[in-house]
Amino acid sequence: MAGEPRVQPDIDEDLCTGCGQCVTACPTGALRLVDGHAALVDPEACGYCADCEDLCPEGAIALPYEISFGD
């Protein structure tokens, strides 16, 4: 819904080694390496495909899901 905050990938900088696999795999270019760590630089472009989460060898990326119950 418009105006509501989107759930975004959570990147743990302490676990990220900066290998860049997530950046290479991101089909929308939403991720980049910033100061040697993966960063979500274009949140609106993120399609939440989970490629980054699946490929991260360190488990530094998590894609939380929001469960919404009706009114």
- Give the C-alpha distances (Å, rounded to integers) separating 35 from 18, 58, 70: 9, 17, 42
Task: Considering only residues 37 and 66, tell me which one the structure prediction assigns the higher pLDDT.
Answer: 37
pTM over 0.85: no
Q: Which residue has the tokens 């795999």?
A: 25
pLDDT digits (tens, 9 = 90+) for 2-41: 555 678 899 999 999 999 999 999 999 999 999 999 999 9
What is the pLDDT confidence band of residue 43, given thresholds at 50, 70 and 90? Answer: very high
Q: Does domain 13-61 have CATH number 1.10.10.60?
A: no
